[in-house]
Amino acid sequence: MPLWSARSCNCMITALSDAGCADLAQSLFEAMPERTTVSWNALIAAFAMAGRAGDARACFDAMAEERNLATWNSLLLGLVQADDRLHDARGIFDRMPRRDVVAYTTVMSGYARAGDLNEAGAVFDSMPERDTVAGTKLMAAYSQNGRVDSAEILFRTMPARDIVSWNTLIGGYGQNARADDARSVFDRMPARSSVSWNAMIAALAQIGRCGEARAVFESMPGRDSLSWNGIISGYSSSSDGRRGAIDALRGMALDGSRPDRVTFLAVLGACTSSGSLGEALEIFGLIRDHGLDPAPEHFSCVVDMLGRSGRLRETQDLIEQMPDLPSQSQWASLLSSCTIHRDVKLGEIAARRVSENASEAGAARISLRNIYAVAATSLQSR
């Protein structure tokens, strides 16, 4: 490549890395007549982004040019993202001649991802300078692991907070079913984004306080599809939320928001909870009316409801109409319904399809024997 400068090649390696083309990036790197530290860093980053931690480490070890902070950080990221290389990442971190906030945050995030929150907290505490991003990441890790009180303590001691920090604390309280604490934080926020409002709606909705969630929803300055999905999901988890979910779906259309697959799944879930088959079929038909293809989860809701209601042939037809190959779960649902409704012939068909997965064959045979037993008992009692 006599006409290509090292700078041009480095840019191309980075572009290939961003596109997930690590092999092409490596080929270009190997064809370069001259390589710089930036070239090596770009290839290490390409391997790291592709999940090839071993190749990133080999490249690091073979590096002829002087390593800089970006070199170390690229390798550190690749090792942390690998499932079994956290110990190696810590070794690299400890060897680094100089560390910046990126290095500390990367290792801290690795420990948090592995569930070692004590070590994650220790790395955070050892940071010479802590920034809001690192603190917010640790808050999120605490909340996701049920330690929302630790997240709150960290939030209070942070020298600076941004709206992401506030939203993370609200979301953490919501994840841990502490809606009143979430509301206290929400009310104290100096400014709110749509994420703030949606997190507050979700915190209330997921513990069944749909009326309060709706009041927050109605007071929003602007609503998006996430807002509507949050309130609809709240209704779907309530035993009597079917009407609220369907009304919200209609309100969504009037508001100009476009329902997505999540929206329809939540409404179908509300219909399933209340046993409203007719409305579930109507909602299922609306999915395509809105230009969407039903996902397997949508099919599963309707398959379950049709089967439990005894409409077994329609259940079979729906399964066979799925654009993708039906999973064993849909056939297993039909098999269960055949047991309830004593349909031996269709049960045999469903059992054969479930048995195509060897790990499920034993359970299918047991279900089929149950169908035979129930059918025989029924004949004897006549």
**What 3-state DSSP class applies to 275?**
coil
Higher pLDDT, 379 or 168: 168
pLDDT value at 175 more than 70: yes
Which residues, in sequence order, are CB contacts of 287 under 8 Å at separation 6+? 261, 264, 293, 294, 298
Q: What angle do CA 305, 234, 155 make, to 5 degrees?
A: 140
Residue 33 has what pLDDT? 81
Averaged pLDDT for residues 370-381:
68
Distance CA 69, CA 314 (A): 63
- pLDDT confidence bin for 380, thresholds 50/70/90: low
Distance CA 89, CA 107 (A): 7
**What 3-state DSSP class applies to 36?**
coil
pLDDT value at 189 more than 90: yes
Residue 374 has what pLDDT? 67
Q: With a threshold of 0.85, does the pTM exceed it? A: no
Q: Which of 47-56, 140-149, 230-239, 354-363 has the lowest mean pLDDT?
A: 354-363
Mean pLDDT for the chain overall:
89
- In tens, the pLDDT along 94-128 reads 999 999 999 999 999 999 999 999 999 999 999 99
DSSP string, 190-219: SS--HHHHHHHHHHHHTTT-HHHHHHHHHT
Which candidate, 360, 333, 328, 364, places its Cα nearest to that of 348? 364
- In tens, the pLDDT along 70-83 reads 999 999 999 998 87
Reduced to 3 DSSP states, what percent helix, strand and coil does the chain have, rounded to the nearest 5?
75, 0, 25
Helices and strands, number each (H, E), in the chain: 23, 0
The DSSP symbol for 360 reads: G
Residue 378 has what pLDDT? 59
Distance CA 43, CA 24 (A): 10
- Residue count of the chain, please give it: 382
* End-to-end CA separation in angstroms for the chain: 88
Q: Which of 91-95, 237-241, 363-367 has the lowest mean pLDDT?
A: 237-241
Residue 1 has what pLDDT? 44
Which candidate, 331, 341, 344, places its Cα nearest to that of 311? 341
Distance CA 330, CA 310 (A): 15
Joined together, the tokens standing for residue 79 give 């090792």
Which candidate, 118, 117, 69, places its Cα nearest to that of 95? 69
**Residue 309, exposed/middle/buried by CB under 10 A (0-12, 13-18, 19+)?**
middle
| Cβ atoms 236, 269 nearer than 8 A | yes
Pick the CATH number of 1-116 from 1.10.10.10, 3.10.290.10, 1.25.40.10, 3.40.50.720: 1.25.40.10
- pLDDT confidence bin for 327, thresholds 50/70/90: confident
Averaged pLDDT for residues 251-271:
91
- pLDDT confidence bin for 382, thresholds 50/70/90: low
pLDDT value at 21 more than 70: yes
